[in-house]
Structure 1
Amino acid sequence: MANRNHFSTNPTCPSAPSLPDKQVSSIPGSNVGTPFKFGTFLHNTYGKFHSPKITATIIGAEFDSSDRDPPPRCHPGTRLAIIQRCLNFILMCSDHEKLRWVFGPAGVGKSAIMQIIAEKAPDGVIFASVFFSVNGRRDGTKTIATIAYQLAVKYRFLVIIDGLDECDNPFVQRELLQLITALCLTNPASPILWIVASRPEPHITSFFEKTEVQPVYVKEEIAIDSDQAGEDVQRYLRAGLKKIQLEYPTLKRKRDWPSELEFIHIATAASGLFAYASVVVRYIGDAHYGDPAARLRYVLEVIDDVGKDETLRKDHPMAQLDALYSRILSNIPDAVMMNTRKLLRLHENYVWRSQNFRLTCNAVGLTEDAAYGAVRHLHAVAKIPDPDRAHIEPFEHFHKSFPDFLLDCERSKFFDDNEDEVQQFVTQTLSRIVEEVPDDLDEAISDEGIGRHGGFLKAGLESCRKVSLSWPANEYLQHPSNDELRLNLYETTMTAICRTFSSDSCFYSTMPWFHALTTRFKVLPMHFPHFELSEAAFANLRPELTELGRIKQVPLRALDCDAICGYIELQFRSPMGVGVKLSSPWNPFCDHGKQESDGPQQCEGWTTYFGRVHDEFGRYNKYDEANVEFPRLEPVVQFSFTDPNDGVSEWRYRLFHSGSPTGCYE
């Protein structure tokens, strides 16, 4: 076949055997959607130099960012020893130990400690800071760009990374640690110091246990059950409860509230866990309830109930916190619990987590009254915007331990089947909003469109008029209007579908979502799920797409190798436990990254990516990361064949093809 050897022209690629002249599966562009030209749209508020760099960073991740106001801080007089050790590390670090790993379980106050370190960094120390959060600051792929931008603009050389475990991808977390430790190992004289804080998650702990890494870092554990932790938590509890006492005349007259015995009871239950202490203080002092004495009794009852179960206290260090969370949820009346579940389910989708409260409530169909009724009992665990700021501020959990508790059905029993229930609800919610916008947008829309994240949707004010609003705009405010609310609902929904679509989930890879993604964009956004779509198309959605004529069989000779563009995915997979000698085609000198396959059980293999990218002169060059552009939504082609050497292994190519293959037929 002409041009067949394109796939082996790169001598560093795995050496595939000659390809059989057979038919291949493709998704023709005419059936998938209109080809798009990739573009970037920036709202330039920082000048021409800054804007492109800012879009590649994690906005609001700096220690002094207004997005984090008010930031977590240690209670005065607490955590002094740990903070001082970290500051001493900055001043007196050696040429070998350039990294300090601050670790501890959820709720011990890691973020507060890192905040104080950033605020008290010694004079003359140049530093950058990245504070990850599940509330919207979690894109780990932007970490290095964020640090580089801060250093370039502010000239800082101490790098603080908080909440590494809250970065959105465990693989990215380890890659960041690999980059940091490699820099420390290969450049011992480097002036850059690092302080990284995280939970001791298994994949992070195992990284720091590697022999080659240990010489470059020191550990700083924030223990729960240490004497110092206990004293710090007691100091925080006393101050918080004293403040509550002074706010209520009936309590102010009492010399000792709570009693010393009651206080010791609470402090013992906290066991050095700041998250527990802070929830207790907020729960007892909840002004919306207005009866601290009664709330104190409820807390003591919960503590006593957990204390009666010796096994629970021994095997579950978070048992007291779980019990308190359960008590808070039990206060929600049955009549409003369904609305509370709706909000908390959608909040687990990280795109919606950062949206303003009114928009989120409109997505799940709650009126203003229903929304505030649903969250009335959650003031101890979440930051709830005032009604006059609901169009600006999001609903936010105070601490990650609460959503962790909700999603663990064995601990909370809040969701019937945790992850599946959440995914199903998110799918239903987003699908409803998409269905309310006309599907024939090519005819309905001319120059209108919605732009975000470098992409453009085929939609405008008129096309979104039928999007339902349960909580309309405030008639006394100019912004946002009802039309703007509808546009924002649709835009955020499509963004969430882009970021959520996954062939690994039966809920997140549906035909309606596939159709929406492949037909509703004028310009594809930066986070468009190219590979996730192709994976779903050739897997769980294949029967439906074939029946609809959107997957067609074409002869291999119909492909134009000069029209291959963007990334090419090559996968090799072998069955395990067969009685034949398997091929081992990977070239150890290959320039491309080798990713171990996580395919079906009883199989092993690898996947790699390479590609051809069109430069400005119209020529195809060897893949160069510096010049990568997103491919247009061209036909996706897949073909596979059995390895001729062992007769059982499978080779599979998946690629983008510019224009429909010639001679395309069913």
Structure 2
Amino acid sequence: MSLPFPSLFDRAKNWFSFSEKRRSRNHLDETSFFSHAQNVTVSGGQFIDASNVNDMRINYVNNVISNGKAVFELLEPYACLEATKDSSARHPPPLCHPETRLKIRNRLRKWLFSDHNEWKLLWVRGPAGTGKSAVAQSFGDSSVEAKRHGASYFFSRIAGRNKLETLVPTVVYQLAVTIPEYRSLIEHHLANNPLLLHNSPPVQFRQLIVDPFTTLQRERAREPIVIILDGLDECEGQKAQWEILEMITNAIRKSPDLPLRWLIFSRPEAHLKNVFSRYVECRREELIIDAECRENVEQYVKDQLIEIKIMYKDMIPVDWPSEDKLLELLNAISGLFVLASTCLNYIGGPEEADPQSQLDSLLTYMCHSQDIVFGNPLASLDLLYTQILEDLPPKGWEVTWRILAYMTHGSKIDSATVLSTPQVLSNFLQLDQRGFYKAVHGLHSIMKVSKPKDAALSRLQFHHSSFHDFLLNSTRSGRFTISERGAIMDIVRSGIYWYEVDVIHFHSHDGWAFDWDHKHDDLPGLLWVSDNRRFLSTSITRFLEYGQGWYKRGIIEHGNCRQSRFTTNNRSNHD
């Protein structure tokens, strides 16, 4: 006779207990295959003693090297190749518009190509939206043409390119591609120490970058090459950012003859300004919104409006836009590249396909708050983001909010990002394809929205992190602020729903022998499927297992929360 089925909270409690028991069983006996087993007969099969896992790793590394396989096979699992300069994940990358940002680009070129430059480290700082990544990308391209590019790493917390642990392997991978002699030394280092890629970043930095280049420089003097780190402030955690700078500056102090130049771009965050102020080895440059910048942005806007007019030549008058409206737009943009880009995306967006009315709508909104715009370019960006959200249909805001809530806070509970694609997240939130695209219809100018054929694998992300920051800051976004508590609780509620579906349909008789591998049929109730039902079910059940720590906290709070947290009429803040 089966036991009575427990309540929701009992099931949640048991769920956490299953995990604890599972972990405890794994530690009962690690010394043999069949501890205390009796009357067991095994026929055939192959057994590997897991206690020798380090030996297996060493043998694997030696086999790869001895068989002549490229060192890249060893590095790739530890690297983040999506963060490299020409990665397809970053396509199309931000680039300086022709004949813009010439002063800073010329100074960078002089810094790299000067034979007697005492500065081995250069920090380029600038506020959000001033075009730092575009300068980094453009300078990286020109250094490749001059055969002076060593490696690049473009950090992005939104895209998940923000882990300290992947930095050194990614840089080493690119250096090994560029310099054959260096690649041979790396193979030697990994053969002598097959566990090196499991060591800490400082150890890897010293043995895979500093030591090999010290050896190469002793053999013959080499021209300096540049290593570009863009968006250092988006690396996960201030401690990790400090550690990166310590690794670089220690190498410069102890090995000043290394043929490496380090170029770092970031926002002028207070903790970074404090750290850089202590480094006498560092030169500093600043991207500011000055007269040159405003001229550059003006040229960029004019050229892009010409492109938009060509694209919609059958709809737009020849004299569009008028001088008055162009001047009004340029004054509102106020020299901020990201704002210019966002405005142009809004004006020329293919979803509306009406640049003339889009420009009118944009200027009408901005002209009501010129007193706020004055003196604070980011305030103008905030106004644009507010307009984009204000234009969304009020009846659909609840669904839109849930998608944005995951995009802003989801990584705190979904560390493995298994829900981060449109199709997986939609099913998790119980949305069908139509519901998802309807909810994000007005957001194309600020977030990447993949086509349905790519929705299962292409990750959701904002075009620029400034929108992510805007949503988290209640002073800037007001009633559109997405609080951590509201977002986490919404994710937890959806998780509880799917946990209940999973348990009721597939685990009601598991007892204490819970089937953690979920070797059962696909989850029922998926609303957006193609031929990937298995993948969608697995993604959701993986999240249920990974997110259990937050579930414990969320379930406790869940009982004290209102079941409905959404107010669509006045779009009140979900907290």
TM range (shorter): 0.7 to 0.9
Distance 1:273 1:491 in 2: 42
Contact 1:468 1:486 in 2 (8 A): no
Can you give the 5+ residue segments of structure 2 that lack an aligned partner in the other structure? 1-18, 31-49, 183-224, 557-575
**Percentage of identical aligned residues:** 29
Compared CA separation, residues 409 and 467, structure 1 to 2 (3 A): farther
Query: Unaligned stretches of 5+ in structure 1?
Result: 1-27, 446-457, 474-479, 502-506, 514-666
Q: Distance in 2 between matches of 1:302 and 1:347?
A: 26
Distance 1:420 1:142 in 2: 30
- Alignment pair present for 1:490 and 2:547: no
Q: Is residue 2:174 matched to residue 1:150?
A: yes
Question: Which structure has greater strand proportion?
Answer: 1
CA-CA distance at 1:172 after TM superposition: 0.2
- 1:235 matched to 2:299? The reply is yes
2: CA distance, partners of 1:141 / 1:408: 29
Q: 2:523 aligns with which of 456, 462, 466?
A: 466
8 A Cα contact 2:228 2:263, kept in partner = yes
Checking the alignment, whether the CA contact within 8 Å between 1:132 and 1:163 is kept in structure 2 is yes
1:221-620 superposed matches below 5 A: 221-224=286-289, 226-254=290-318, 256-309=319-372, 313-314=374-375, 316-348=376-408, 349-350=410-411, 351=415, 352=417, 355-415=420-480, 418-438=483-503, 440=510, 443=513, 445=515, 458-462=516-520, 465-466=522-523, 468-473=525-530, 480-495=531-546, 497=547, 501=549, 510=553
> Residue in 2 aligned with 1:129?
152
**Pairwise CA distance, 1:389:** 1.9
| Mapped partners of 1:64, 1:363: distance in 2 | 33
The 3-state SS of whatever aligns with 1:510 is helix
User: 1:354 offset after TM fit, Å?
Assistant: 8.1
Residue by residue, what CA displacement relative to the aligned partner does 1:447-468 show, whole Å, maximum 9, x if unpaired? xxxxxxxxxxx32441x63364
Partner of 1:92: 114
Is the 2:164–2:235 Cα contact (8 Å) retained in structure 1? yes
Letter of the 1:205 counterpart: K
Aligned-partner Cα distance in 2 for 1:67–1:290: 27
Q: Deviations over 1:193-226 (max 9, x none)?
A: 110111111111111112xx12x111121102x1
Q: Secondary structure at the match of 1:485?
A: helix
- Matches of residues 162-241 of structure 1 in structure 2 within 5 Å? 162-210=230-278, 213-214=279-280, 216-224=281-289, 226-241=290-305
Following the alignment from structure 2 to structure 1, what is the Cα–Cα distance between the partners of residues 116 and 453? 52
Aligned pair in 2 of structure 1 residues 53, 321: CA closer, same or farther (>3 Å)?
same
- 1:54 corresponds in structure 2 to 76
Post-superposition CA distance 1:592-647 (Å, at most 9, x none): xxxxxxxxxxxxxxxxxxxxxxxxxxxxxxxxxxxxxxxxxxxxxxxxxxxxxxxx
Q: Distance in 2 between matches of 1:150 and 1:354?
A: 30
Counterpart contact for 2:492–2:555, Cα < 8 Å: no
Local SS of the residue matching 1:392:
coil
Deviation sequence 1:219-241 (CA, Å, 0-9, x none): 121102x1111011111111111
How many correspondences in the alignment?
Answer: 451
Tell me how far 1:182 sits from its aligned partner: 1.7
Q: Distance between the aligned counterparts of 1:83 and 1:250, measured in 2?
A: 39
Amino acid at match of 1:112: A
Q: Distance in 2 between matches of 1:427 and 1:460?
A: 20
Classify the secondary structure of the residue corresponding to 1:128: strand
Tell me the amino acid that sits aligned with residue 169 of structure 1.
G
Secondary structure of the 2:83 match is: coil
Secondary structure in structure 1 of the residue aligned to 2:456: coil
Structure 1 residues 95 and 430: alpha-carbon distance in aligned structure 2, compared to 1, 3 A threshold: farther
- 2:469 is paired with a residue whose SS is helix
Per mean C-alpha deviation after superposition, the further-off stretch among 351-360 and 161-170 is 351-360
- SS of 1:76 mapped into structure 2: coil
Return the TM-score normalized by structure 1. 0.63
Q: For 1:336 and 1:62, how far apart are their aligned partners in 2? A: 38
Task: Tell me how far apart the structure 2 counterparts of residues 158 and 442 of structure 1 sit (CA, whole Å).
Answer: 57
Which position in structure 2 is the counterpart of 1:106?
128
* Kept after mapping to 2: 8 A contact 1:114/1:197: yes
Q: 1:140 aligned to 2:164? A: yes
CA distance in 2, matches of 1:111, 1:354: 28
8 Å contact kept, 1:141–1:172: no
User: Which residue identity is paired with 1:85?
Assistant: R
User: Do the aligned partners of residues 137 and 354 (structure 1) sit closer, same or farther apart at CA in structure 2, a change above 3 Å counting?
Assistant: farther
Rounded to whole Å, the distance in 1 between the matches of 2:228 and 2:511 is 47
Q: Any idea what the Cα deviations from partners look like across 1:389-418, whole Å, max 9, x if unmatched?
A: 212322221111111111112211345662
Displacement of 1:509: 5.2
CA distance in 1, matches of 2:285, 2:323: 33
1:197 aligned counterpart, secondary structure: strand
SS of 1:413's partner is: helix
Q: Which amino acid aligns with 1:244?
A: I
Residue 375 of structure 1 deviates from its aligned partner by 0.5
CA distance in 2, matches of 1:465, 1:267: 54
Letter in 2 for 1:469: L
* Distance change >3 Å, CA 90–CA 436, structure 1 → 2: farther
1:176 maps to amino acid: I
Partners of 1:193 and 1:235 in 2: CA distance: 32
What's the CA shift for 1:32?
5.5
2:350 partner letter? A
CA distance in 1, matches of 2:346, 2:335: 18
Pair 48,34 (structure 1): closer, same or farther in 2 beyond 3 Å: farther
Q: Match of 1:218, as an amino acid?
A: R
Q: 1:444 to 1:427 in 2, by over 3 A?
A: closer
Distance in structure 2 (CA, Å) of the matches to 1:94 and 1:427:
58
Counterpart contact for 2:96–2:134, Cα < 8 Å? yes
Q: How many Å separate the matches in 1 of 2:106 and 2:418?
A: 35
Distance change (3 Å), C-alpha of 1:154 and 1:430: farther
1:465 partner letter? D
The answer to whether the 8 Å contact 2:233/2:266 transfers is: yes
Q: Which amino acid aligns with 1:223?
A: I
Task: Indicate yes or no: 2:99 matched with 1:77.
Answer: yes
Structure 1 pair 418–30 and aligned structure 2 pair: CA distance change class (3 A): closer
State the distance in 1 between where 2:418 and 2:128 align. Answer: 20
Distance 2:250 2:324 in 1: 52
Name the CA shift for 1:31/1:444 in 2 (closer, same or farther; >3 Å): closer
Alpha carbons 1:381, 1:399 under 8 Å: kept: yes
Alpha-carbon contact 1:135-1:396 (below 8 Å) kept = yes
Q: Is the 8 A contact 1:128 1:150 kept in 2?
A: yes
Point out the structure with the larger helix share: 2
2: distance between equivalents of 1:92 and 1:48?
34
